[in-house]
Amino acid sequence: MIITVTMNASVDKRYRVDSLEPGTVIRLDSCRNTAGGKGLNVTRVLRQLNCEVLAVGVAAGRNGDFIEEELNALGIRHCFARAKGESRCCVNVVEASSGRQTEFLEPGPTLDPTAIYDFTSRFTMAVESGSIVSLSGSLPQGLPPGFYGRLASMAGGSGARVIVDSSGESLSESLTGSPVLVKPNLEEAGALLGRRLSGLADAAWAATQLMARGAGAVAVSMGADGVVYAGPDGVIRGKPPKITPRNAVGCGDAMVAGFAVGLAEGWDAPRSVRYAVALSAASALCEETGAFRESDLEDMLPRVEMARLS
């Protein structure tokens, strides 16, 4: 079973407008609310792939009620601790005229010791039956930067393999837990390593640097340019075909889901990279975040360009 962790779950709101004009009153063409946060995006993709998945995390207030109700409606198993306050809302504004997307991300609740203890207890029980654990997204207020590292160590002690998709200190500190894979994007990797990165050579350098810091493998995602993956057998690059994306939000989460499937199935690195890139591209063609069309995935798989860099 794959365990997904969403510490800072949200109600994701997708606003579609003709154009975004600051200082004016804007009426929405459409609005859609979904249970979100990076970990839950991973969860929905895995559920669509018919994987056995359990979502754990923290929810708060009436927004937390909505998140759990949405998961119930989707038939997704979940085990969320409850916290005081209110789970955040994250707004994605899509401009129909330009295709641009603007995101507004609330900080989320502050976790007190009771909520942290409740979550940790639930996580401890969950990982006993999980072979893969995915830690995704930001940490809410009240948690130390090393919390993902602690969870990774706990999961590893139970025999689970851990994937981390985070940024900043939480990503850096997670390396102390020896995750089997971390997936920063190019900007996040550069911020962590103190260097502005651009292009394949920089991505490959960053991936090998993060491996040296404790990651078993590193996938540096680059949007339309695909991903550079460094592992024990070298560095490879997967690039999707050129597409016109309909929704770029959650593409990295779909990529994480693809890598989780590869780990669960025991695939080699090239097959996992191809699948993760194809799934990410298929997600970009779907308006709904954390979803894809099977026909798009089947179309993308043979069209992913693979190259060995070292």
Residue 292, domain CATH: 3.40.1190.20
How many domains are there within the chain?
A: 1
> What is the domain extent for residue 290?
185-310
- Work out the pLDDT band at 19, boundaries 50, 70, 90: confident
Mean pLDDT of the chain: 94
Given the residues 12, 165, 202, 253, the one annotated as active site = 253
pLDDT of residue 150: 96
Residue 287 has a pLDDT of: 84
Range of lowest pLDDT (57-61, 90-94, 145-149): 90-94
Q: Give me the pLDDT at residue 97, please.
A: 81
Tell me, yes or no, if 253 is annotated catalytic: yes
> Does residue 302 belong to any structural domain of this protein?
yes
In a domain, 218, yes or no: yes
In a domain, 210, yes or no: yes
Mean pLDDT confidence for 179-204:
95
The alpha carbons of the chain give a radius of gyration, in whole angstroms, of 18
Under 8 Å between Cβ of 276 and 219: yes
Give the pLDDT score at 32: 80
